[in-house]
Structure formats: C-alpha cells, structure tokens
Amino acid sequence: GQQLNQSPQSMFIQEGEDVSMNCTSSSIFNTWLWYKQDPGEGPVLLIALYKAGELTSNGRLTAQFGITRKDSFLNISASIPSDVGIYFCAGQPRINAGNMLTFGGGTRLMVKP
Amino acid sequence: DGGITQSPKYLFRKEGQNVTLSCEQNLNHDAMYWYRQDPGQGLRLIYYSQIVNDFQKGDIAEGYSVSREKKESFPLTVTSAQKNPTAFYLCASSGTSGNEQFFGPGTRLTVL
C-alpha cells in the first residue's frame, strides 16, 4: 500500500521555539491533512490542504501542500507546553478512493519547560 | 453538539471472549471507519463503511467484524480469533463533500 514517511519521529524543543515537521511519499497525493493527538484521546484535525502549493494557517500553525504533490510540512511557531502531543500527517493518494487516508507514523513533540 | 462518541473509554476482557466496541455519530456522515493504534505507532485501518448496509475490509481486518445497520452507528466486534487484541481503537467518520475524517475519543481495550 501507500507509504507516508513522517519526520522527525520525535523532538524536544524549548518553549518559544519554532517547530517544523514533514511528510513525504513516493506517490502523488490529492489531499494532505494534519492531525494532533493528545495522550489517550482521538486525533483532532488541524489543517486540510487540497491544492498543490497551498499554504494554510491556523493560529500558530502553518502547513503547505508541496508543489510536487508528494510532500507536506507543518510548522508551529512560538511553541507552548500545550503543543505537546503526537502530530500525524495523512493523505489521500488518489481521487475517489472512498475517502481512504494513508497515515504517517507520527511526530511526538515534547516541550522542555 | 455534533460529534462522534465511542463507548466505553476503557474495556477489559478475558482472553477468548468476544467484545463489541460502540461508535455513534450525529454528523450525518455517510462514511465511517475503524482504526487500531498500538503504543508509539500510527493508525491502521480495520474496516470501513461508505454507506449503510455495506462495509469493506481494511488492512488488518482478520479477527474483527462490523455491521452498519444504521447510518449513525458502526459497531466493531473484536473476536477471539484476533491474536493480539489489546490496543487503542479509534472510530472516525467523513462526509461526502471532502476527505476530512473526524475521530471519536477512542476505546482502550485490554485483554487479560
């Protein structure tokens, strides 16, 4: 099946620092989604991207749909303790695939107090 | 409030017993999904349903069964045939207008 490579797998950052993570695929994707999962909870949708080159912000979060349609990145500016959690990318590899999504392995974000 | 509910939050069962996890949504979504998440891992698709009375196997369907008798409900049964059932189970739904899936709070199943 389709594979999404998400990196880094985990990261420690200092409060106030900016964070960047990305997802790459060997195949073209039509949709990129970014989710955040708190411990013991379900993932919450942060940002949805539908067009190549699209740059979308949600508060301190910014995500971009790569021009090649094979990658996406998520930036978090001025991190705070509540940013702790696991961030997942997800993509839909082709049109009308029954809304099936392929998920990355997640980036675990830990903030130093 | 619109959303997806899963119950119970925590479930304990003895090995060899079947157990059914509940998933209900009031978002009027046609499609519903079940995922399994193991510690430190991503999400793996168990089953999905795009319409009432129809469902398809995902990547790891062995040892699981589902039904979709109502649009709002998509229960998952973990059978005794599932060799390693202890995991966090997530239900999701999506509408026809987009690819965005919305998740429930999850059920943590522990088989003793």
Q: Is the dihedral of CA B29, B30, B36, B37 positive or negative?
A: negative
Best mutation target among A99, A103, A109 (most B Cβ atoms within 10 Å) is A99
Give me the residue from A1, A33, A88 closest to B42, CB to CB: A88
Do the Cβ atoms of B102 and B84 come closer than 8 Å? no
- Cβ of B85 under 8 Å from any chain A Cβ? no
Q: A98 and B100 in contact by Cβ < 8 A?
A: no
Give bridge partners of residue A92 from the DSSP assignment: A31
Give me the residue from A40, A92, A103 closest to B43, CB to CB: A103
- Cβ of B98 under 8 Å from any chain A Cβ? yes
How are beta strands B31-37 and B87-94 bridged, if at all?
antiparallel
What are the residue ranges in chain A where pLDDT is below 70? 1-2, 94-99
Do the Cβ atoms of A4 and A25 come closer than 8 Å? yes
For each of chain B's 112 residues, which pLDDT tens digit applies? 669 999 999 999 999 899 999 999 999 999 999 999 998 888 999 999 999 999 999 999 999 999 999 999 999 999 998 889 999 999 999 987 667 999 999 999 999 8
pLDDT given for residue A27 in this prediction? 87
Q: Which of A73, A78, A79 is nearest to A56 (CA)?
A: A73
